[in-house]
Amino acid sequence: MLAVVLAVASVAVLSPFYKAPESIASAMANGQYDQAVSLLKNPALDSHSGAQATLGNMYYLGLGVAQSFQQSAQYYSRAAFAGSTAAQVNLGHLYSSGFGVEQDTPLAYAWFNLAKSNGSRIAPLYMAEMLSEHRLNFRVVEQLQIDYATIKQFTKLH
């Protein structure tokens, strides 16, 4: 369910917080995804979280590259630690589903919680879904509130 939502939410592919140069936006609009990937690699290497999140989307969906959930997770992780709320939500999805990473429900919840604190309106819905499906219990959530503070502090260090 969460993976489907991620794919649907990523139709635009460009991270909503990334102001792409016109050449990248044009390549994507024209379906020239391989060119867009080439243009995104340098900003991503320069630690631009929006470019990293966008490349994460492209690897997740297989646009311009061979689909790779592992590569997607790597780009989302870099962007998430740099403060990209969209990447934090997407990384939560990967940990929730086990796509590209080892499935880790508490860590997924922690990423959703961090995204929520950074203003994501959709992250609280995913958190509630995890609780309603009994994938977490309230004792685990209490511990996550403690662990969450550590994740939030760690993201500020990167």
pLDDT in tens, 8-29: 343 345 554 455 678 888 898 9
Domain that holds residue 25: 2-157
In eight-state DSSP terms, residue 123 is: H
Per-residue confidence (pLDDT) for residue 135, from 0 to 100? 74
Which of 76-112 are b and which e, b meaning 16 or more Cβ less than 10 Å from the residue's Cβ? bbbbbbbebbbbbbbbbbbbbbebbbeeebbbbbbbb
Q: How many structural domains compose the chain? A: 1
Question: For the chain, what is the mean pLDDT?
Answer: 82
What pTM was estimated for this model as a whole?
A: 0.78
SS3 letters for 15-81?
CCCCCCCHHHHHHHHCCCHHHHHHHHHHHHHCCCHHHHHHHHHHHHHCCCCCCCHHHHHHHHHHHHH
Q: What is the CATH number of the domain that holds 115?
A: 1.25.40.10
Tens-digit pLDDT profile for residues 80-116: 999 999 999 999 999 999 999 999 888 898 899 899 9
Higher pLDDT, 97 or 158: 97
Rounded to the nearest 5°, which phi and psi values hold at 15?
-55, 135
Which H/E stretch holds residue 111? helix 105-117
d(CA 82, CA 155): 7
Judge whether residue 73 has pLDDT over 90.
yes
- Mean predicted confidence (pLDDT) in 49-54: 94
Per-residue confidence (pLDDT) for residue 8, from 0 to 100? 37
Per-residue confidence (pLDDT) for residue 45, from 0 to 100? 92
In Å, how far are 4, 23, 144, 158 from 36, measured between CA atoms? 24, 8, 38, 26
Which single residue is written with the structure tokens 């991503």? Answer: 44
Per-residue confidence (pLDDT) for residue 10, from 0 to 100? 39
Per-residue confidence (pLDDT) for residue 91, from 0 to 100? 96
Judge whether residue 52 has pLDDT over 90.
yes
Per-residue confidence (pLDDT) for residue 37, from 0 to 100? 95
In eight-state DSSP terms, residue 114 is: H
